[in-house]
Amino acid sequence: MINFTLSKEQEAFRDYAHQVAVEEMRPIALECDRTEQIPESFFWNMQKRFWAGSAAQARAQGAERQENVFSMLSQEEMAWGDAALSTAIPGPGLAAPPILSQGTPEQQKRFLSIYMDGQLHWGALALTEPGIGSDVAGMSTTAVLDGDEWVINGHKHYITNGARADLVVTFATVDKSMGRAGIRPFVVPKGTPGLIVGRIEQKMGLRASQTAELIYENCRIPKDNLLAGRQTSQSSGFKAAMGTLDATRPMVGALAVGIARAAHEAACRWVKEELPAGYPALRRREIEDELEEIGQEIQMARFLVWRAAWMADQRIPNSKEASMCKAYAGALVMKATAAAVRITAPGENDETRQFIQKWFRDAKVFDIFEGTAQIQRLIIARRLFPQVDIP
Amino acid sequence: MISFSPTEEQEEIRRLARSVASDELRPQARAAEKDGDIAAALMQTLTQTGLTTPFPEDYGGSGNIEAITYALIAEELGFGDGGLAMNVIGSMMGPLTVALAGNERQQSEYIVPFCGREGYKERGSLAFAERSGGYALADISATARREDRGYVINGTKRDVVHGAQSRPRVVLLRLEGTVGNAGLCAALLDDEALAGVHVRPETQKLGLQAAPSASYRFEHVMIPEAAMLGEPGNGGVVRAATLYLILRAGVACGMARAALEYAGKYAGERIAFGRPIVSYQGIAFMISEMAMKLDAARLLLWNAATHWDRGGADDALIHDAEAAHYQAVRIAKSATTDAVQILGGAGFMQDHPVEMWMRDAAAME
């Protein structure tokens, strides 16, 4: 049955996440954006909050098995709070999907159990290289088997939490001539000799999020750090990479919705409270109509995100729907934040406008990372036309 | 709990509507456009499915309307042909408004004829949009002023499907001097009252020619008290108005889907520079965006429809219905325009339906 109403548990969970965003994230967001630093107290506070929250979620899920939908609810609130800070919340992060989908049960236990020990731990995913972004199959980072060890050489960048991650799931090729089929996921622990942290990037937005360069110089890891639980096909490694992106697309969509909503709320409030009384009525009406349209589109983006998440919960293949929600939300967050900047331009450069400008700077990357806007449209087209080769 | 799948029963109804749309509406679309109306035989076929009589069983209907189910049906009808879909939906809104806002006597008089053997010959109408506005309840400014033992009506209406010839002929009005939803009312205009109204059949329309329509101009037109549907300001009026927006949005989504499917098929087959044109990103991306925006608009529509089904007649429902209508018409316009573009020169010719669909979508404003 078609239903857009959240259950009581889902609403309570979302409200809890919203409170966390209000209390832990908004008060420090501007400062962290300015300094590109996050106080350690934030990590400990979030750890505590989310242990409590996850317990509640687990209880609620017994009833409904909508893990992905639950996750979208909290992601939206976290991004409403501050998207950069949300990427820094302790946890396995983007390292989890490949470990869960490609790791053996033993590997899953070995790698993921540290995240339950009550200390601060992060995870990272190293895919992108200076020479390849969208063209994942063309990667140059290599892995060569030498006795009981894999030796990794190469260069990854734009890795979220790359410098602080306890585990970096690194995609490397065992044979470049094999193209996609040669790509495999390897777990590289922090501090492994040969794993060198390079620069930390300075970015337009998501500035408080740590974006690192990692250099692999004869970096040796144990043989059984290759995630090889599903050796069913040659291309399983490549599929692990793509599968990770499929799983994270709705999450990225949810983050974009959170930022768009934050900007939209702020713009609406500014118009109501700050727009000078002498503003021409017609112009005011135009602005209100524009904000109304954006509000509708935020709702549409949210429903597309929920749909993709719901399909994942139902175990229905959702690659097209995942790409749709990310493509739509990415365009929408640009539209919403750009409109907020433009509409509030005449105002004082106060805290509200500082936030709006930050959200505008944060928004742009949502059409770029985790699959560019163009790649998303390509994926959608390929799913719509499976019988046609669309290069 | 969140869920996006129709029930088994809804899927069956949807399949039925889809087959009627593909087998009957689509092939007759150009002829209906030329004739400016639906063929009697087609209306009879449609009526026999039971899809066009969602009225209380007491009056012989198939049961009270469920907006989510009818959003699905409206989309299929719109997928078949926008003009014919609006012809059917526009007619249904007459008795539907009586069912939602009228008293028992009015319901009995005006709904029963639609449910009989000759029901397919009946037509109803609901006048919503005006010369001074569009499809928003706040835009309704035609007024009804209480006087003696009746009301005096002033104002305009446009794009009234079956406005020239229908029974019941219902008009959405605002009680003079009121602002907001509490002042909205709906009145019956029988042929007698119509004598005082300036009724003009709309000719030379841009699109939706298969849905004959009329405009009204009221200059101090008297109607008896009994012509008011229920009490003025009753919630049923808002429910009828929002239902119309929801059904129109369904038709618009169907029109967009028709364009998406037709242009997609063409792009998959048409060869240029040695390969299907859909393999070029310029075309592929247009289609991806069409599909994405349609899915988004449809979800907004389903949200409005399920909201309507929960009952009530408040601002939140009005907002959801108006948003769904706005976004659905928007995607209908852009998808049909893009479909013409994708077909290139052929799209401009009347051999293909896409130019008609583009005009139909534009006429939904």
- Nearest CA-CA distance, residue B214 and chain A, Å: 29
* CB within 8 Å: B295 and A321: yes
Would you say residue B306 lies in a domain? yes
Would you say residue B141 lies in a domain? yes
- pLDDT bracket for residue A240 (50, 70, 90): confident
DSSP B172: E
Question: If we measure between CA atoms, which residue out of A384, A288, A383, A293 comes closest to residue A343?
Answer: A288
Across the interface, of B7, B278, B326, the residue whose CB is closest to A385 is B278
Give yes or no for residue B201 having a pLDDT over 60.
yes
Question: If we measure between CA atoms, which residue out of A103, A91, A124 comes closest to residue A184?
Answer: A103
Residue with tokens 């639906």, as numbered in its chain:
B38
- The whole-angstrom separation of Cα B1 and Cα B233 is 34
Contact between residue B297 and residue B253 where contact means Cβ atoms under 8 Å apart = yes
Would you say residue B272 lies in a domain? yes
- The whole-angstrom separation of Cα A386 and Cα A383 is 5
* CB within 8 Å: B3 and A3: yes
What's the pLDDT score for residue A285? Answer: 94
- pLDDT bracket for residue A235 (50, 70, 90): low
- The whole-angstrom separation of Cα A386 and Cα A384 is 6
The reply to whether B218 and B159 lie within a common domain is yes
β-partners of residue A216 are: A154, A195
pLDDT digits (tens, 9 = 90+) for A164-205: 999 999 999 999 999 888 999 999 999 999 999 999 999 999
> Which of B227, B262, B283 is where one domain is finished?
B227
The reply to whether B113 and B184 lie within a common domain is no
What's the pLDDT score for residue B42? Answer: 97
Which value, in Å, is the radius of gyration of the alpha carbons in chain A? 22
- Three-state SS for B98? helix
What's the pLDDT score for residue A5? Answer: 94
- Nearest CA-CA distance, residue B1 and chain A, Å: 5
* CB within 8 Å: B284 and A69: no
Q: Which residues contact A340 (CB under 8 A, 6 or more apart)?
A: A263, A264, A266, A267, A356, A359, A360
Count other C-beta atoms under 10 Å from residue B199's C-beta: 17
- pLDDT bracket for residue B137 (50, 70, 90): very high
- Nearest CA-CA distance, residue A103 and chain B, Å: 31
B261: nearest CA partner in chain A: A384
- pLDDT bracket for residue A56 (50, 70, 90): low
The reply to whether B191 and B286 lie within a common domain is no
Would you say residue B117 lies in a domain? yes
Residue with tokens 């008009």, as numbered in its chain:
B171
The reply to whether B61 and B162 lie within a common domain is no
* CB within 8 Å: A2 and B285: no
- The whole-angstrom separation of Cα A171 and Cα A187 is 9
Q: Which residues contact A114 (CB under 8 A, 6 or more apart)?
A: A121, A166
The reply to whether B176 and B93 lie within a common domain is no
- Nearest CA-CA distance, residue A250 and chain B, Å: 14
- Which residues in chain A are closer than 8 Å to B281, comparing Cβ atoms? 374, 377-378, 381, 390
Would you say residue B258 lies in a domain? yes
Q: Is beta strand B143-147 parallel, antiparallel or unpaired with respect to B150-161?
A: antiparallel
Structure tokens at A260: 């768009």
Domain with residue B169: its CATH number is 2.40.110.10
What's the pLDDT score for residue A241? Answer: 76
What's the pLDDT score for residue A227? Answer: 93
DSSP B136: -
The domain total for chain B is 3
Contact between residue A362 and residue A84 where contact means Cβ atoms under 8 Å apart = yes
What's the pLDDT score for residue B194? Answer: 80
Give yes or no for residue B73 having a pLDDT over 90.
yes
The reply to whether B280 and B207 lie within a common domain is no
The reply to whether B57 and B87 lie within a common domain is yes
Region B312-334 average pLDDT: 97
Complex-level ipTM? 0.87
Mutate to test the interface with A, among B292, B298, B319 (most CBs of A within 10 A): B292
Q: Which domains does chain A have, with CATH numbers?
A: 8-91 (no CATH), 96-233 (2.40.110.10), 237-384 (1.20.140.10)
Which value, in Å, is the radius of gyration of the alpha carbons in chain B? 20
β-partners of residue B161 are: B213
DSSP A25: I
What's the pLDDT score for residue A101? Answer: 85
Would you say residue B242 lies in a domain? yes
- The whole-angstrom separation of Cα A46 and Cα A16 is 12
Angle between the N-to-C axes of helices B26-35 and B354-362, in degrees from 0 to 180, rounded to the nearest 10: 60
The reply to whether B240 and B333 lie within a common domain is yes
What's the pLDDT score for residue A53? Answer: 60
Which H or E element spans position B222? strand B213-224
* CB within 8 Å: B285 and A381: yes
B7: nearest CA partner in chain A: A1
Give yes or no for residue A20 having a pLDDT over 60.
yes
One-letter amino acid for residue A205 of the chain: G
The reply to whether B207 and B293 lie within a common domain is no
Which H or E element spans position B228? none
Q: Which residues contact B183 (CB under 8 A, 6 or more apart)?
A: B174, B175, B177, B232, B233
* CB within 8 Å: A390 and B3: no
What's the pLDDT score for residue A111? Answer: 96
- Nearest CA-CA distance, residue A22 and chain B, Å: 25
* CB within 8 Å: B5 and A2: yes
Count other C-beta atoms under 10 Å from residue A146's C-beta: 11
The reply to whether B15 and B80 lie within a common domain is yes
- The whole-angstrom separation of Cα A278 and Cα A138 is 59
Give yes or no for residue A60 having a pLDDT over 60.
no
The reply to whether B114 and B133 lie within a common domain is no
| A:B CB pairs within 8 Å | 119
Domain with residue B30: its CATH number is 1.10.540.10
Would you say residue B283 lies in a domain? yes
The reply to whether B239 and B343 lie within a common domain is yes
The rounded Cα A342 to chain-centroid distance in angstroms is 27
> Which of B122, B157, B179 is where one domain is finished?
B122
Q: For this structure, is A370 an active site residue?
A: yes
pLDDT digits (tens, 9 = 90+) for B204-240: 999 999 999 999 999 999 999 999 998 888 899 999 9
- Which residues in chain B are closer than 8 Å to A324, comparing Cβ atoms? 291-292, 295-296
Would you say residue B59 lies in a domain? yes
Mutate to test the interface with B, among A268, A300, A375 (most CBs of B within 10 A): A300
- pLDDT bracket for residue A59 (50, 70, 90): low
Using CA atoms of B106, B107, B110, B112 in order, give the dihedral in degrees to the nearest 10.
Answer: -140
Q: Which structural domain range is residue B209 located in?
A: 126-227
Which H or E element spans position A380? helix A373-384
- pLDDT bracket for residue A63 (50, 70, 90): very low
Angle in degrees, CA B296, A302, B239, rounded to 5: 65
Q: Is beta strand A123-126 parallel, antiparallel or unpaired with respect to A142-146?
A: unpaired
What's the pLDDT score for residue B231? Answer: 85
- The whole-angstrom separation of Cα A22 and Cα A263 is 15
pLDDT digits (tens, 9 = 90+) for A349-368: 899 999 999 999 999 999 99
- Which residues in chain A are closer than 8 Å to B288, comparing Cβ atoms? 327, 376-378, 380-381, 384
- pLDDT bracket for residue B78 (50, 70, 90): very high
First to last CA, chain B: 35
> Which of B69, B101, B122 is where one domain is finished?
B122
- Which residues in chain A are closer than 8 Å to B10, comparing Cβ atoms? 2
DSSP states along B250-317? HHHHHHHHHHHHHHHHHHHH-EETTEEGGGSHHHHHHHHHHHHHHHHHHHHHHHHHHHHHT---SHHH
Give yes or no for residue A230 having a pLDDT over 60.
no
- Which residues in chain A are closer than 8 Å to B268, comparing Cβ atoms? 385, 387-388
Task: Please state which of the ranges A114-123, B23-32, B295-304 shows the lowest mean pLDDT.
Answer: A114-123
pLDDT digits (tens, 9 = 90+) for A72-117: 999 999 999 999 999 999 999 999 989 988 899 999 999 999 998 9
Question: If we measure between CA atoms, which residue out of A250, A352, A390 comes closest to residue A26?
Answer: A352
Q: Is beta strand A211-222 parallel, antiparallel or unpaired with respect to A149-160?
A: antiparallel
What's the pLDDT score for residue A64? Answer: 58
β-partners of residue A143 are: A152
* CB within 8 Å: A381 and B287: yes
A206: left (phi over 0), alpha (psi -120 to 50) or beta: left
Contact between residue A136 and residue A240 where contact means Cβ atoms under 8 Å apart = no
Domain with residue B242: its CATH number is 1.20.140.10
Number of separate helices (H) and strands (E) present in chain A: 11, 7
Contact between residue A360 and residue A339 where contact means Cβ atoms under 8 Å apart = no
Whether the ω angle into residue A346 lies within 30 degrees of 0, i.e. cis, is no
Question: If we measure between CA atoms, which residue out of A90, A304, A307, A52 comes closest to residue A60?
Answer: A52
Structure tokens at A274: 């700050």
Active-site choice (A77, A213, A321, A370): A370
- pLDDT bracket for residue A66 (50, 70, 90): confident
Does residue B116 belong to the interface with chain A, where contact is any CB pair within 8 Å?
Answer: no
In whole numbers, what is the pLDDT of chain B averaged over residues?
95
DSSP states along B186-213? EEE--HHHHTTSEEEE--S-SS-TTS-E
